[in-house]
Every structure is written in structure tokens, then in C-alpha cells.
Amino acid sequence: MVRGKNLQQRRLKGTGFVTADKATAECPETSASITAADGSTVPVSGVTVVDKTKITLTVAPQVTDPTDPTETATVTAVTGPNTSPPTPANILGNQILCDPNMPDCGGNVISTVDGAPPPVQNVVVGQKIVLNTNTNPNLPITPYKTTWTVDGTRIKNYAPTTASASVTELKGMDLAQPNITFYWVYQNSSIPVTVTYQYCVNIPGVGNQCSPVANATFNVSGPTGFITPTYDPGNWSLNGPIPVCGKKKTIYALYFGSLNVAESTSCQAVASSAGITFTASLSDVPSSGGTNAWVQLISSNTLSAVTPTGKQAISNYGTGLDKSFPYPLPLDDSSGNVVNDVPGSGLNTIYATETKDFSANMYLLWTPQISGSIPVPIGYVSWTISATADQNVGQSPPWAVADGATATATFTVSTDTGAPTHGLPTWKRVVTAASAALPSDVEPDPVQMDGEEENQ
């Protein structure tokens, strides 16, 4: 190109040019520009992409040195992804995909970015939700910010074992990753919950640009349920005499429920009736099906004693998970819909009276039969019992249940009680007869309470 010759028609030859009728949002029409050797821009007009090998345009070089035949300029034709200052709509790869292993929606794009309603996904409480994003592989810039929002009560994990159970919350760091894994705890199918995703990049020479927000919508279904506690405050019983294993002696025992005294020993305690029975009834169970698991957390378990001379002693058996996870099923009903409990204690003849106080929450958990799922809470029964055994010193019978025995039980639907547990039962220790063993036939100690660790 020679300066001083204004308004020349020029023809560019090359390959891969994109004409106007073939242009798309992702691959716009080829543009052309001319840059002089000194870096200045040479005005051009009438750029026309004739076909994929030919562009015509009109140039108007500056008249600086009409006699210099060696002055040159660079002609640039740009074809391919739009490199003009990006607008949010042009940042790609921002859709939400279900992980390939998720049932029903596996691998599918489930979001929209244009404001159109996304297709509603049907999932279940406790189901492992794994969402991925299809970050544009051609994007040469790493997003400086990634943002997920997830409505509803959602957690990163819940891991109940006999030793302990804890809830791992979904934290800000988890919400800033390209992919996300979480569980919904409570059903919310009547009001679909929303998940959004957006990333932002810094483009040199342009600045910070954020993608459009990708929206996905879920119906989170799950069962509703009720636990019926069956009990009677008069279910307390005084049982004995019961042989002590390996010793030529017998003991009496106070129980909520009753023992089969004829078949029982101190190491072979056979309960003939439960003090309290919990029966679950579920409705709106998702088609995936699921299984029940029961958890009982003891909040108080003491035996307070008074000697004939008025001295007092108290034994605290501790708080935490009762027996095991899951709570054991009765042998005559392995459906998982029924459990029972027969709390009580052996009695020591050195005391005139002994009072058993026990309170606990019996939880019903439900786990969908979908791989990778966790248990979620349905509801729980808070129950409290108390009774006093009177030795009737010098009278008969040797022990009897004193007047005033009580028992109460109330069902509550599980709800999100806030961080950190969100209504899920958690514990740090298990309470068993082994962990609660007391010395027997000892002089009463002054009143004292063990410093047990509280449940969360």
C-alpha cells in the first residue's frame, strides 16, 4: 500500500473468511483492519466479505510522504470467535449439567441463561446431587470468581456411625468451585428450589466480565411421617429376685416395661414387655423407595438414691447415642417401622429409695434407595420418664414402685433448626451398659454429677 493514494479499492485474498450470511453469535462475520508500520490505524470502509477467500475494502491512507514508495502497512482479517470487547452473552460454557451418574438427568444440561424457565428436575431428599459445569475449553483465562447458590436446606455430608455423627455444611469454598456436590435434607416439592451458577473472568484490555447466570430448578420430594409412641405411665415394674451371674445373690430391678424374671439373670436380662414402643408411618414416599433407621439420643439418664439415714447419691449414666447406630430392631419386627425401649436399673439394698430419671429423643431417619444417598430426618419423639423404687425397709414386698411415676412423649416433625446440624441428630459418644457400668454394693457417695459432654 502506498501512502498518498487515497481511497483505493483493494482486494484481500486468504482462506476461512466468514461471510455475513454464514455468521453466528459464536463465529461472527470476518472483520478487516489495516495497521500502519508505526502502529497507527489506517481508516478503512466498505469492508465486504465476498466469500471465504476474498474480502474487498476501501482504504484511505494518510498523506504524509507521497514520494515514499517503501512505506507499508499490515492488513488484518479476523475470522473466528468474536474477540471484540466481550459482552456477558458471549462468555460461554456457563450451563449446569447433572453428573452422568445421577439418575434421570445424568449428563444433561439442566439450566437456562436467557431467562426462560429451566426444565424442572425431580430429585429426592438425601440423594447425592452432583452438578457440573461445562467451562469453555477454549477460554484462555481462568475464572477469578465462581459462584453457586443453592436454595433450601442443603449440606455437604452427614456421616452417622456408632462412634459419632456429624454434619458437614456446604461452605463458601464449596460454592466457589466449578462443580458442586451436596444433599437436600428436607422435601420441598411444592415450591421448586433453584440452583444458580455464574463465573467471572478478567480479560486483559477489557476488564472483568461475568457470564450470564445459569438457572436450574428442582423438585425435592421426600416422605412425610409420623411416629406414634405407645406407652403408659403405669408401665413401670419392680422385678426380682433375679440371680446375679457368678454370685450367690439376687437383686431387684426397676424397669419401664417388665422383665421375664423366671428367665433372667443379671447377664441375661429378658424383657417381657416394652415400656415404650415407637411405630413409624410414612406417606408420600418417592418411587425410589427407601429404608428407615432409628437413632435414640439420651439427654438424661440418672439414678438418684437415698439411704435409710438420709444420705444421697446420684449416678449419671451419661448422654449420647443409645446402644448403637442404627438403634436395634426388635426381634419380632424387622420391618424397620417399629422399635422399643425398656430403660431401667438394678437396685442396691443399701438404699431406702432409688429414683430413675430418663429422657431421650427417638429419631426416625430415612435413606432413599439411590446410590450414594445419606439418611435424612423425618421426625422424633421427645420422651421423659421418672419413677421411684421404695425398698419398704422391714416390710413386704422388699421393693415396690412408689406413687408418682410419670411418663410423657411428644412427636415433632424434623425441621431445619439452623446451623450446624440443621435438625439432624449428632453425637460424639455412645452410651451402653458397658460404658455406663457402676460399681455395686458400695457406700453411697455425696451427690455428684459427671461432667458429660453435651450432644450437639
Partner 1 sequence: MRKSALYSLVTIFLMQTFTMYSQAPGKPAPGFNLTISEVHPGGMIPNVHTLLVEYTNTSKVDYHPNGCWEFRGMYNMIVLSDGIPAKETDNMRKLRKFRDGANCFEGGGLIAGYLKPGKTSKEYLEVSYYYDMTKPGTYEITVTRETFPWNPEKSVTVKSNTLTIVVPEPGSTEPQ
Residue 450 CB, nearest approach to partner 1 (Å): 12
Residue 235 CB, nearest approach to partner 1 (Å): 11
Strand partners, 296: 362
With b for 16 or more beta-carbon neighbours within 10 A and e for fewer, the 12-38 pattern comes to: beeeebbeeeeeeeeebbbbbebebee
- Residues 295 and 277: their CA atoms lie apart, in Å, by 14
User: Applying CB under 8 A, does 384 fall inside the site for partner 1?
Assistant: no
Q: Are 49 and 31 in contact (CB under 8 A)?
A: no
- Residue closer to partner 1, measured from CB, 143 or 368: 368
- Residues 200 and 142: their CA atoms lie apart, in Å, by 9
- Residue closer to partner 1, measured from CB, 32 or 125: 125
Q: Which stretch binds partner 1 (CB under 8 A): 27-35, 43-51, 226-234, 332-340?
A: 332-340
Q: Is 150 exposed, middle or buried (0-12, 13-18, 19+ CB in 10 A)?
A: buried
Residue 148 CB, nearest approach to partner 1 (Å): 18
User: Applying CB under 8 A, does 449 fall inside the site for partner 1?
Assistant: no
Identify the residue among 236, 278, 317, 383 touching partner 1 (CB under 8 A).
Answer: 317
- Residue closer to partner 1, measured from CB, 12 or 124: 124
Neighbours of 351 (CB within 10 A): 22
- Residue closer to partner 1, measured from CB, 15 or 335: 335
Measuring CA to CA, which residue among 174, 188, 181, 191 is closest to residue 124?
Answer: 188
CA distances from 276 to 108, 234, 236, 296 (A): 49, 11, 10, 13
Long-range contacts of 7-12 (CB under 8 A, 24+ apart): 7/58, 7/59, 7/60, 8/58, 8/59, 8/61, 9/56, 9/57, 9/58, 10/56, 10/57, 10/58, 10/59, 10/75, 11/54, 11/55, 11/56, 12/54, 12/55, 12/56, 12/57, 12/75, 12/77
Q: Are 133 and 97 in contact (CB under 8 A)?
A: yes
Count of residues that bind partner 1 according to CB under 8 A: 73
- Residue closer to partner 1, measured from CB, 200 or 244: 244
User: Applying CB under 8 A, does 380 fall inside the site for partner 1?
Assistant: no
Q: Which stretch binds partner 1 (CB under 8 A): 2-10, 35-43, 167-175, 340-348?
A: 340-348
Identify the residue among 133, 146, 355, 373 touching partner 1 (CB under 8 A).
Answer: 373
Residue 372 CB, nearest approach to partner 1 (Å): 5
Cell of 47: 469492508
- Residue closer to partner 1, measured from CB, 175 or 244: 244
With b for 16 or more beta-carbon neighbours within 10 A and e for fewer, the 382-404 pattern comes to: bbebbbbbbbeeeeeebbbbeee
User: Applying CB under 8 A, does 401 fall inside the site for partner 1?
Assistant: no
Residue 81 CB, nearest approach to partner 1 (Å): 33
Interaction with partner 1 in 242-261: which residues (CB under 8 A)?
242, 244-245, 251, 253, 255, 257, 259-260
Identify the residue among 78, 93, 99, 194 touching partner 1 (CB under 8 A).
Answer: 99
Over its C-alpha atoms, the chain yields an Rg (Å, rounded) of 38
Interaction with partner 1 in 406-435: which residues (CB under 8 A)?
431-435
Interaction with partner 1 in 129-188: which residues (CB under 8 A)?
130, 158-163, 165, 181
Interaction with partner 1 in 52-91: which residues (CB under 8 A)?
none
User: Applying CB under 8 A, does 444 fall inside the site for partner 1?
Assistant: no
Q: Are 83 and 203 in contact (CB under 8 A)?
A: no
User: Applying CB under 8 A, does 374 fall inside the site for partner 1?
Assistant: yes
User: Applying CB under 8 A, does 320 fall inside the site for partner 1?
Assistant: no
Residue 388 CB, nearest approach to partner 1 (Å): 17
Place of cell 431445619: 416
User: Applying CB under 8 A, does 192 fall inside the site for partner 1?
Assistant: no
User: Applying CB under 8 A, does 337 fall inside the site for partner 1?
Assistant: no
- Residue closer to partner 1, measured from CB, 173 or 267: 267
Identify the residue among 108, 122, 196, 272 touching partner 1 (CB under 8 A).
Answer: 272
* Residue 251 φ then ψ, to 5°: -135, 165
Identify the residue among 192, 286, 320, 326 touching partner 1 (CB under 8 A).
Answer: 326
Q: Are 452 and 318 in contact (CB under 8 A)?
A: yes
